Structure 1
Amino acid sequence: MLGRKKEMKTRKCAVTRIRTWVFAATTQSTYHYTITAHVREAPNIDIKSFETVQPSPLLKYNVVNVLYSYAYIIRLFNGSHTEQIQQAVKGLLNLSSVLSHNAVFHDCNSAIKDAITNCQQHKDTATSLEFAYAVMLDVSCIITNGSHYLIGGSHYLIGGSQCLVSHVLSDLHHMIQSSCTKDKSSKKSGTKGVTSAKMLCEVERKVFFMLVWSKEHYSDLLPLQKVIEIEHEGLVKELKEHRDMELKIQEK
């Protein structure tokens, strides 16, 4: 066990450059930019030792909710989430009903829309709808191993055959652990932690289970990539029509 912990600590983070589409709120147009994200190498896990029961077929939708929440926070903090890890984790829990309230989603679109609704209800994470919708393409990128967006070759950057979903969940698991450590240090110094230790422990277990699941069931997510992109296209179109209508009303 000690050897395994040591191995996980010595693993290096791969650096992945992901080209994403960001919607400019002022010009209503799109432009390209590049995010440099540190994606933690996923640990080797004995999957069969964890699968004592058959995972729910709905788990893939919960994973999408978590992936969206993660991608949103990474984009919100501009890749510097590790510098404000407690605030980043708090924001992530505000977004993900799966991690904070044990929500179970029955389809992909509701899993994403719930996170979008949540992000607008908290002042620390509230942004424009253009920003929130752009994150959907980040999730699509993660599910497809970044093959459409990575610069320099996805296999080289993310470490061969391991899927990007596992790397992301591994990084998220590390974020939870780091936040828990900082919260414990805060309590020792007499200050209140950002999130309760009990809640963080529960979230850590959930994320680790998803990480294990992704090693064996990653292919279950692949059909959802097209669903996400279609939903994204529809939401962007709907928002544009709404903004155009507002402009026409203002001009009258």
Structure 2
Amino acid sequence: MERVPIRLGTLRATVKPSSNVSASPLLYEGPSVTNTSLVRVCRVCTMQEARYTCPRCNTPYCSVDCYRSHGESCTEQFFESHVRSEMQFSSNARGDDDKKQQKSIQELLERVREFQEEQQQLADGEDDEGALMQRMEELALLDKTGQLTLESLTPEERRKFLGEVADGRLGKLVELWPPWWLMNERMYRSETSSRRRQLILEEIGGDIDEAENEGEASSAVVVEPSVLYPVGIFTNSDAQKMPKSMSALLPGGRQPSPCLRYHLVEVLFAYALVLRAFNGDYAQDTAEAAFMLLDLCRVLSDDARYESLEHVCLSCLEKQSNVSEGSAANALAIQDVQQILRTDVFLLDALSDTRALLERYQQELERSSESDKRARSERKAALKKLAAIQKKMIFYQTWTYLAPVEDFQALAAELEAYTKYKELLGAQS
């Protein structure tokens, strides 16, 4: 006798269209429904769409509560009927020895266990869905009252949200961050002056009010920590720590390599692309931002060398990242580099902010504690590499501080001329 597999029921996925036919009320008096809606309406509460079907009686239901209340004996009857069928099958099967009967019973119990697990997973899924709906209602209420911010999200929600911002999936829903280097230079200097003084006073442990009373200009807007401005900015205190010449960093009277200007282009390109990818706020996922920066900037991570402006531009335009716009985002970052190079305050602040990003990542690694020996070894190696990269950043910032701003303005003009030339070639091809 051939054994037939037990069918535990199926989920109803599609409904064929039918003509509108009036149906009698189910449990209450109300408007008539169509044949199509009868299939979709929960037969228990008659209020919600039925997305599941009872494997015993094929009753459509919408939730765990409705499944539990649609018939208390339904599940028991399901098990009982199959147990009786199995016992009848075993007793009628001639030639079965005790071992075969035992195997049949074990197979039955396994099918029962699988069914119970499926029902438990369904119940868990409904509980998760209910929690999700409740969470969405909470966020919707915060949004309605204007109180929805990144701080309202859990760490996991914030991570997913920023990831979708970075790859462009929320591009049409999120207000895009306006890069600070696109501001008017005078306005930018004015609106960051208080923050610069604050950073200096934090370093020396003073009070910002005392400094203002000593005659410093107090007309500038007090800047609260915001993604609109860079986290790390170049201050007068930083300037005082700078050496008088590059000889302090290049012993033996050597001069900086002429190719250094091309390397700077890649550093700024990577920084601008990371800032745009994270909508101006890399602090929400410092590790991911640092990974992206070092992946884009081979000058810092792999000691790459570029011999010409064309060489570095082609490399930047061909780089792959998790930004969905791809080549368009890369081209925009090249334009950002031009803008940053034109103004000394933008250039120094961009490099300071790059250092701040890497420093924050260093601090995260230093605070982490791994019990695994291999993980500790990898963390130690990562910290060593980051320390070497920070030395490179100090070198670049010292060089840009000591070099005339006209040199970088000329580089910006060369970069602009090259990109226009590439656009012209692209239009002609």
TM-score range, shorter chain: 0.5 to 0.7
Give the secondary-structure state (helix, strand or coil) at the position aligned to 1:47. Answer: coil
Q: Percent identity?
A: 22
Residue 391 of structure 2 aligns with an amino acid whose one-letter code is: R
For 2:258 and 2:204, how far apart are their aligned partners in 1? 29
| Cα deviation 1:93-127 (Å, max 9, x = unaligned) | 11111001111212223223213323x2x4x3564
**Counterpart position of 1:133:** 331
TM-score (norm 1): 0.68
For 1:74 and 1:196, how far apart are their aligned partners in 2? 22
User: Which structure would you say has the larger RCO, counting Cα contacts within 8 Å and 6 or more residues apart?
Assistant: 1
Cα 1:175/1:189, change in 2 over 3 Å: farther
For 1:36 and 1:174, how far apart are their aligned partners in 2? 15
| Cα deviation 1:145-199 (Å, max 9, x = unaligned) | 2xxxxxxxxxxxxxxxx53211111111111111111122224576776x81122
Summarize the alignment of residues 2-41 of structure 1 with structure 2, pairs less than 5 Å apart.
7=203, 36-38=228-230, 40-41=232-233
**Counterpart position of 1:212:** 398
**Counterpart position of 1:228:** 415
RMSD: 3.2
Cα 1:177/1:227, change in 2 over 3 Å: same
TM-score (norm 2): 0.41
Cα 1:5/1:185, change in 2 over 3 Å: farther
Cα 1:61/1:81, change in 2 over 3 Å: same
Whichever of the two has the greater Rg, that structure is: 2
**Counterpart position of 1:107:** 308
Q: CA deviation at 1:41?
A: 2.3
Q: How many residues align?
A: 199
CA contact 1:144–1:222 (8 Å) conserved in 2: yes
**Counterpart position of 1:168:** 350
**Counterpart position of 2:384:** 198
Summarize the alignment of residues 63-102 of structure 1 with structure 2, pairs less than 5 Å apart.
63-102=264-303
CA contact 1:95–1:116 (8 Å) conserved in 2: no
For 2:256 and 2:278, how far apart are their aligned partners in 1? 33
Residue 61 of structure 1 aligns with an amino acid whose one-letter code is: Y
For 1:36 and 1:94, how far apart are their aligned partners in 2? 24
For 1:66 and 1:9, how far apart are their aligned partners in 2? 32
Q: CA deviation at 1:39?
A: 5.5
Q: Indicate which of 138, 143, 146 corresponds to 2:341.
A: 143
For 1:51 and 1:7, how far apart are their aligned partners in 2? 28
Give the secondary-structure state (helix, strand or coil) at the position aligned to 2:318. Answer: helix
Residue 209 of structure 1 aligns with an amino acid whose one-letter code is: F
Cα 1:187/1:234, change in 2 over 3 Å: farther
CA contact 2:300–2:392 (8 Å) conserved in 1: yes
Matched, 1:180 2:378: no
For 2:272 and 2:418, how far apart are their aligned partners in 1? 17
CA contact 1:97–1:114 (8 Å) conserved in 2: no
Cα 1:89/1:9, change in 2 over 3 Å: farther
Cα 1:212/1:8, change in 2 over 3 Å: farther
For 2:332 and 2:308, how far apart are their aligned partners in 1? 20
Structure 1 unaligned spans of 5+ = 16-34, 146-161, 243-252
Q: CA deviation at 1:131?
A: 1.4
CA contact 2:323–2:329 (8 Å) conserved in 1: no
Residue 220 of structure 1 aligns with an amino acid whose one-letter code is: D
CA contact 2:318–2:327 (8 Å) conserved in 1: no
For 1:98 and 1:199, how far apart are their aligned partners in 2? 13
Give the secondary-structure state (helix, strand or coil) at the position aligned to 1:38. Answer: coil
Query: Which piece of structure 1 moves more, 198-207 or 214-223?
Result: 214-223
Between Structure 1 and Structure 2, which shows a larger proportion of strand residues? 1
